[in-house]
C-alpha cells in the first residue's frame, strides 16, 4: 500500500493576541482569505483568548443591535464556520485544549479541531510557513 504522507499546509497562523487587543482577528482572517484566493491552504491555531471566538454558545448571530434590531450580524463562530465550509478543506481552525480549558471555554463548534499544545511543534512542522500574530 502507499506510504501515508503527512499533509503539508501552506501557512499556519498562530493567533496569540487576545481578540480585543486590536484588529488581529480581522488581520488573520483577511490574510487567510488572501492565501485561499491564491489557491493556498491555511490553518489557524487559536491560542489564549482567541479560543473564545469559536464557542458553540454564540449561535449564528451576535446579540441584537439595539440600533438596528433587524440587522444581520454573524457571530465570530459563524464566520469561522463559514470560512471552513467555503475553504473546502483548505482552511482549518485549531483550538488549543489547554488555553480552552484554562478559560472554561471548551465547547467549540464541531468544525474546530482540538489540539494539545504538546502538538504545537508537530503542527508547525506540517506548515511551509508559520506566522505568529500578536503577543501572548
Partner 1 sequence: MSSTTTAAARTGLGPPVLCVLDRAYRGAVEVQFFHALYGLLDLHGQFQRVDVALRGAAVTMAVEEDVYRPSVRLGTMTLDTLPDYRGSVRDLIAEDFTVYVDRDAVTALGFAPERLVAGTICVDAAELALRWPEYDQVWFV
Nearest distance from C-beta of residue 34 to partner 1, angstroms? 10
Nearest distance from C-beta of residue 129 to partner 1, angstroms? 21
> Which CB sits closer to partner 1, 63 or 118?
63
Q: Which three cell numbers stand for residue 1?
A: 500500500
> Which CB sits closer to partner 1, 14 or 83?
83
Nearest distance from C-beta of residue 71 to partner 1, angstroms? 7
Nearest distance from C-beta of residue 26 to partner 1, angstroms? 4
> Which CB sits closer to partner 1, 61 or 122?
61
| Helix/strand/coil (H/E/C) assignment for every residue in the chain | CCCCCCCCEEEEEEECCCHHHCCHHHHHHHHHHHHHHCCCCEEEEECHHHHHHHEHHHCCECCCCCCCCCCCCECHHHHHHHHHHHHCCCEEEEEEHHHHHHCCCCCECCCCEEECHHHHHHHHHCEEEEEEECCC
Catalog residues that contact partner 1 under the rule CB under 8 A.
19-23, 25-26, 29-30, 33, 36, 53, 62-63, 65-68, 71-74, 76, 79, 82-83, 85-87, 91
> Which CB sits closer to partner 1, 124 or 135?
135
Amino acid at each position: 500500500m502507499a506510504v501515508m504522507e503527512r499533509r503539508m499546509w501552506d501557512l499556519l497562523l498562530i493567533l496569540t493576541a487576545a481578540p480585543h487587543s486590536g484588529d488581529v482577528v480581522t488581520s488573520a482572517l483577511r490574510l487567510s482569505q488572501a492565501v485561499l484566493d491564491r489557491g493556498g491552504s491555511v490553518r489557524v491555531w487559536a491560542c489564549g483568548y482567541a479560543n473564545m471566538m469559536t464557542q458553540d454558545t454564540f449561535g449564528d448571530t451576535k446579540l441584537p443591535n439595539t440600533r438596528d434590531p433587524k440587522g444581520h450580524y454573524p457571530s465570530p463562530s459563524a464566520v469561522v464556520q463559514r470560512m471552513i465550509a467555503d475553504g473546502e478543506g483548505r482552511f482549518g481552525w485549531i483550538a488549543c485544549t489547554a488555553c480552552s480549558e484554562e478559560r472554561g471555554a471548551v465547547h467549540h463548534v464541531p468544525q474546530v479541531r482540538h489540539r494539545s499544545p504538546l502538538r504545537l511543534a508537530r503542527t508547525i512542522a506540517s506548515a511551509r510557513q508559520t506566522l505568529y500574530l500578536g503577543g501572548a
